[in-house]
Structure 1
Amino acid sequence: MSATLCNFEPSSLYSSLSNLKLMHTPNRVEPEFGHSTAFCAACTKIGGEQVEYYMGVDGAGGHIYTNGEPRDLRQFKRLSRYIMQEDLLQPYITVREAMAIAADLKLGASITAREKVVVVEEIMQLLRLDKAKDTTTERLSGGERKRLSIALELLNNPPVIFLDEPTTCPTTHNPADFIIEVSSGEYGSHADKMVAAIENGRCQSWRDYAVGSDTSQELELEQLNSGGVEKHNLKHGSTTCQQFHILLRRMLLQTLRNKAYLWLRVCLHLFLGLIIGLLFCNMGYDASKTIFNFGFCYACIIAMLYIPMMPVLLEFPREVQLMKREYFNRWYGLKAYYAALVVSRTPATIFFSLIYLALTYPITSQPLELPRILMFTTICITVALISESMGTAISSILSVVNSVFLGPALSVPLMLLAVYGFGDGDLPPPIIWKLARSCSYLRYGMEGLVAAIYGGRKEDLVCPEDKDFCEMKNISNFVKLLGMSGVSFWFDFGVLVVILLLMNFLGYYLLRQRLSPNYAYRSIKIIGNFIKAKMSMSHQ
């Protein structure tokens, strides 16, 4: 493979790559090194999947050939594997488990389970990971993490591998230490002469003096170089259903092993359940505190909004970085990953919501009728699932800082619109506010909870003996005052289900745009980067 780069603007960050020629021959490990690690990373990315960025901005241009033929970028990206400088590994699984899961995804049913075990053991022994095979990834040393990153990509024997900083030793500790010292100017200023001598990488005469090459090796390399691009299987090693099953198993295993996070969520739901339950204690049947019971419904909706959403905003941006490495290296498809992500989160969200409701519902003396309990629980769980999906959609395209800011900021108008117009009775609101109110899924959640508690009840609420008069004793009058006399539980529940599906589709679409952006998304990103650059310059 050869690459020729030209026309980088002098002011560009990568102007040092102008008129640079890179050439790599088959069956060899060939390094690209320099005094700056950023230079090495840029050269590596030129051949990897990020070539579109370098060839599309800053006035960059050039040509890349594979075996003397113009490279098919889409095909080459599917054939090549890129191991980043950062050792991003899936947490809470051991080395053996990580290798086994990767083998199932990358090899699929092409070989038997016994053969997969043999391949995994051979690679672990080759990269000296056999002694750490029962160690979880977060406890590995720096060198072990780097070797595991390489081992995971060797399972299906890819034809091209790009390694960014593959060693953990100091950059200047290498056999060419003298060349580095000369290039750094320790023996005088000879950098310009050296660049001119090698013609900025275009000179290939040094290959004629390779040490240790024999005739058979040279003949084999000539045969490889003279042929066309070797055909490889460009599809994933496993089917979509197999990918979904494997990823779901991995995600559930990671969730169960993250005990600190699980106990934190359990304690949080217990704490909030007790606090909210005691604040609204015995108000469900008290006619003198009917408005406060409506406040209890609102508190439940707010709890189902923030508790499921905030952990996703904090954790998912990091998960996206892990997923990008596996996705670009052809481990699995995005559909299988996103489906497994949604399914793996659902049991935990339902379980924690039930903990909260198991405390608040009886303490506040809500109707102990099974249909009403099921309706109340169903609405709360559905709202929690929508909030979690909303957090996924936000954090799929933003960093942790921006996600944590934007998530609560978008929640405020949803909360305000959820209770807009309550107390006006059947007086219709302005059409613009009616449309805005219909955009808040919390509004449908509030209507569903009110319908679950008060819908279809004929008897009046109990007025305490120490009260002379209870204005909200009649349930029909109270529901009419709220403007909910015509609400239907099943309509609100159906709308919430539709919103849940749309929110999951939005999260999938935004994540897909982040991985493979279209022209509209790229344009928006370029405009955002331009505005950010101008703002930073104005601050300076």
Structure 2
Amino acid sequence: MPDKDNYDSMEIETIDNSSSANGNLLGQEKFKLHFSNVFYTAKQNNKLVTILNDICGEFQSGRLTAVLGPSGAGKTSILNVLSGFKASGVSGKITFNGKERNSLAYRKVSCYIPQNFALLDLLTVQETMCDSVDLKLSPKTSSEEKEKIIDDIIRILNMEKCRNRLVRNLSGGERKRLSIAIELVTNPPVMFFDEPTSGLDSVSSLQIINYLKRLALDGRIIVCVIHQPSSKLMKLFDDVIVMSRGHVVYSGPKVDMIPTFEEAGFAFPEYYNPADFALEVSSEEHNEQLLSLIQTNKNRYCEQTPPPNESTTNAINENTKILNHSNNHTTIDVQPSSGTKSRRSTHERCRFATMRPKAKVGVCRQMVILTRRSLRTMSRNLIAVQLRVIVHVIVAVLVGAVFWDIGNDGARTLTNISCIFFIIMFIFFGNAMPSILLCPQDTPVFIREYLNGWYSLRAYYASKLTSDLPMLLICPTLFTTIIYFMTSQPDDIVRFAMCWVISIILAIVGHFMGLAFGSTFELQMAILLVPGISIPFMIFSGFFIRINEVSSIFRPLCDISFYRYTMEALIQAIYGYGRPDLQCHREFCYLKSPTKLLKELDMQGDLYGHDIFVLSIWIIFFMVLFFISLVLRVKREQ
């Protein structure tokens, strides 16, 4: 990694996107995001709390803005609201380039990078970038153009060394840079960052803010929440927003912040970090001086917006000097009157990035990309694939050894039914529990990507249906096949196929129940609820007590228990449809006749088709429940 001094004179580069023919040059148009009289209320402890209270301000292209304030001041909330991530409970006027902000159109030209940027740990940096490019750019974009875009972004963010490294093996600074790289694919003119330096050392923090400064100089609006920045970091920022208990205390050029606070009666100590001074001012209890600052900001941005003054020009010049090269052949000159520009040596002029709007990628294409990504991550997941298959095989061999050769023994019929019941339990929980455990890894990534407009909810839902099919076929097939032949069940391909179909259907029921509960509730709650709800239904499966012996009060529970229909279908497949009497090596075998067994269990008649139908209804129910859970998660985050 470069040493600290190299970051002080980091060369300013911009992404060469000459390969893209769509979009507008960021340097040719100035962008402005203005907000006034914005309120944001949310429920906390079943009470409506006003988090943002009548805030006003604006962001301009070509300028790097820091959002400062103590904990609980509303720093993250202002980013959530202005980025469009939070829509419910928001009121006020937000305009982009003088026009009322349209949520759908605005998301195409903006992005929000939260503090805890969710990534798929089992993808490499290259694969993560490729998926981002495929989901965001038009399918008409050639693979050469996409590869060039990826190469440019990786080169500029200095990620060549970790290009083929798994995300889980990246350092904190590399993860931050990757989060920026993912969103740079479309070169959005508006970018929001929530504490991009959180958890990083001073050198890595300076590196990240230098990257953000570089993006701002290309003509973007860059806004980031920053927690207690050093004086060195503060020099990189052009504008500052200071928050205090949901109010904006100050919004404007950084060089005007201290004079404004001093005019309100706050004394600035000599040789003091301006960021620390801003935090101390915003931490004051509501007094006349602080209220005066809040009102001054409202008067400036809510009622009238003054034209750029000399201090604004000075702010740009002052804060850009620290990025100038110390050598003689490269300089940077900012021309605020004609838009923010950077000038380099004659042998290499700065090229402005071309904005690539998020393209309309079809739902089918989105589903293919997401399915490919899911299969790739699953293949590398030790718990989801490798251990899951191994456990199914080991348990199947163990069960087959314990219940060896009992399938055609009339004296051990009840023991064989116990084996069938164990198969049902293992297949259900062996597919429900892994699905619950994998949801906390996938859901945060889905929420971030969906709210940033990467793909539709239908595409993600369809990809989950298709990408999980291989494991839903492999594990129950191995488990059922091994046990079926080790326990000497009927040597009939039709009966084996009937048992196999039921095991697959039961695995799908357990899988979607796990997905539905895992995406709706927190991990611990989901792990508690799935067994807590499903295990009581075992009582009404017909194994512990025959259906005709159940009290009429509980009879409806028998009619909806998916364990009952699974048990019934498997017993029908093994003992029904005219199977001849079983072998009997004792003087008397009471249940050697399959017909008598079915009568004792109250499972007479052709019930297999009916059982398949009811279990299919359960699958549809949990699939719909899973879709509803995704919708609720999205609404909960907005």
TM-score, normalization by structure 1: 0.84
Contact 2:404 2:488 in 1 (8 A): yes
Q: 1:189 to 1:488 in 2, by over 3 A?
A: closer
Mapped to 1, the partners of 2:39 and 2:458 lie a distance apart of 39
Q: 1:436 to 1:505 in 2, by over 3 A?
A: same
Of the three residues 171, 176, 191, the one matched with 1:161 is 191
SS at match of 2:57: strand
Mapped to 2, the partners of 1:498 and 1:15 lie a distance apart of 44
Contact 1:120 1:155 in 2 (8 A): yes
| 1:413, distance to aligned residue in structure 2 (A) | 2.3
Q: How is 1:14-413 mapped onto 2 (pairs within 5 angstroms)?
A: 17-36=52-71, 39-55=74-90, 61-167=91-197, 168=200, 169=205, 171-173=228-230, 174-175=233-234, 178-185=273-280, 193=289, 196-197=292-293, 199=295, 201-202=297-298, 203=300, 208=309, 209-210=311-312, 211=314, 212=316, 217-218=336-337, 220=339, 236-259=359-382, 261-413=384-536
SS at match of 2:592: coil
Contact 1:287 1:461 in 2 (8 A): yes
1:445 aligns with 2:480: no
Of the three residues 576, 586, 591, the one matched with 1:455 is 576
Which residue identity lines up with residue 366 of structure 2 in the other structure? Q
Contact 1:327 1:333 in 2 (8 A): yes
Q: Deviations over 1:93-119 (max 9, x none)?
A: 111111111101100313111111111
Counterpart for residue 35 of structure 2: 3
| 1:182, distance to aligned residue in structure 2 (A) | 2.5
Mapped to 1, the partners of 2:431 and 2:334 lie a distance apart of 65
Mapped to 2, the partners of 1:157 and 1:490 lie a distance apart of 56
Q: Is the deviation greater in 46-55 or in 454-463?
A: 46-55
Amino-acid identity (%) = 28
Q: Greater helix percent: which structure?
A: 1
Mapped to 1, the partners of 2:465 and 2:285 lie a distance apart of 59
Q: 1:25 to 1:270 in 2, by over 3 A?
A: same
Q: 1:17 to 1:371 in 2, by over 3 A?
A: closer
Contact 2:516 2:626 in 1 (8 A): yes
SS at match of 2:139: coil
SS at match of 2:164: coil
| 1:444, distance to aligned residue in structure 2 (A) | 1.4
SS at match of 1:360: helix
Q: 1:237 to 1:147 in 2, by over 3 A?
A: farther
Structure with greater contact order relative to length (CA < 8 Å, sep ≥ 6): 2
SS at match of 2:234: coil
Q: Deviations over 1:115-156 (max 9, x none)?
A: 111111111111112221111111111111111111111112
Q: Deviations over 1:241-295 (max 9, x none)?
A: 1111111111111111224543321332123213322332222111111111111
Contact 1:182 1:191 in 2 (8 A): no
| 1:240, distance to aligned residue in structure 2 (A) | 0.9
Which residue identity lines up with residue 111 of structure 1 in the other structure? T
Mapped to 2, the partners of 1:181 and 1:254 lie a distance apart of 44
Mapped to 2, the partners of 1:330 and 1:184 lie a distance apart of 34
Counterpart for residue 484 of structure 1: 603
TM-score, normalization by structure 2: 0.71
| 1:475, distance to aligned residue in structure 2 (A) | 1.1
Mapped to 2, the partners of 1:423 and 1:34 lie a distance apart of 67
Mapped to 2, the partners of 1:111 and 1:306 lie a distance apart of 44
Q: 1:393 to 1:236 in 2, by over 3 A?
A: farther
Mapped to 2, the partners of 1:399 and 1:436 lie a distance apart of 27
Q: How many residues align?
A: 500
Counterpart for residue 630 of structure 2: 511
Mapped to 1, the partners of 2:296 and 2:529 lie a distance apart of 47
Give me the CA root mean square deviation: 3.3
Which residue identity lines up with residue 100 of structure 1 in the other structure? C
Mapped to 2, the partners of 1:104 and 1:237 lie a distance apart of 11
Mapped to 1, the partners of 2:151 and 2:66 lie a distance apart of 27
SS at match of 2:474: helix
Contact 2:562 2:618 in 1 (8 A): yes
Contact 2:393 2:478 in 1 (8 A): yes
Contact 2:40 2:89 in 1 (8 A): no
Mapped to 1, the partners of 2:612 and 2:307 lie a distance apart of 72
Q: Deviations over 1:51-105 (max 9, x none)?
A: 33452xxxxx533233334333454345432111002111211111111111011
Q: Greater strand percent: which structure?
A: 2
**Structure 1: 5+ residue stretches without partners:** 56-60, 222-231, 523-540
Which residue identity lines up with residue 179 of structure 1 in the other structure? P
Counterpart for residue 538 of structure 1: none
Counterpart for residue 246 of structure 2: none
Q: 1:143 to 1:14 in 2, by over 3 A?
A: farther
Mapped to 1, the partners of 2:39 and 2:82 lie a distance apart of 17
Counterpart for residue 263 of structure 2: none
SS at match of 2:188: coil
SS at match of 2:520: coil
Q: 1:183 to 1:220 in 2, by over 3 A?
A: closer
Contact 2:37 2:56 in 1 (8 A): yes
Counterpart for residue 536 of structure 1: none
Mapped to 2, the partners of 1:152 and 1:260 lie a distance apart of 27
